[in-house]
Every structure is written in C-alpha cells, then in structure tokens.
Amino acid sequence: MTDLPLKARCHCGATQFEVTDAPTELTDCNCSFCSRRGALAAYYRPAQFKLTTARDRVSTYQWGHYLGQHHHCAICGCPTYSEFPSFDSGQPDFDDPRISVNARLFIDFA
C-alpha cells in the first residue's frame, strides 16, 4: 500500500509537490510537446495538488496561445506539472481547471 499524500520531486530535489490520491489513470501523451519532454501524466483537480517548495524554484513554458502552462524545475529542468482548463465538455472550462503531474517523479509509488 502506498502512503498518502503521494510525494514527488524533480531530479535535483529543488521542486517538490504532493497529491492527495494515487492516480486512477496515467497518460503517455504523444503530442509534439509531451513526446519530447517524456512525462507520464496523472490528472488532478487543484484541491488535490500542493506545491511544497517555493514557487520561484519553478519555471513555466506556454507555447503560443495554447491554454496550458507547463512547469519544470528552474534548476535541473525536470518537467513537473502542467495547469490547464478542463476539456470534459469538449470546450475549455476555465472554472474547472486540471493539473497534470509527471507521475515519473512520485517517490516510492508502486
């Protein structure tokens, strides 16, 4: 059994976060950006996610007018999490955002 909350950290440990629940689904996205960064995505609502280190340890990339913001460690460059509106209805819903975390960063997750 995995202890909750699940803790995660980048390669150098400067950026850390935790989530309240184990992922129910993992996505290996093959879009042009995700396929290059190599993250394995687990999705959460903002209330389930907590950045446990200072925000200044995180850098953000937003491609053009794309609605998502992709975050990575400002020191080692590890992809950590992304923020974007929900698309459950087929349209962007900014009132119901999602956070995609890099599940490869979970510590001791089985």
Q: From 3.40.50.880, 2.170.150.70, 1.10.579.10, 3.40.47.10, which CATH number describes the 6-105 domain?
A: 2.170.150.70
Gyration radius (Cα) of the chain, Å: 13
The model's pTM is 0.88
Instruction: Report residue 99's pLDDT band, with 50, 70 and 90 as the boundaries.
Output: very high
Q: Where are the domains of the chain?
A: 6-105
Segment 48-57 shows an average pLDDT of: 95
Mean pLDDT of 77-84: 94
Q: What is the pLDDT of residue 38?
A: 83
d(C-alpha 101, C-alpha 39), whole Å: 8
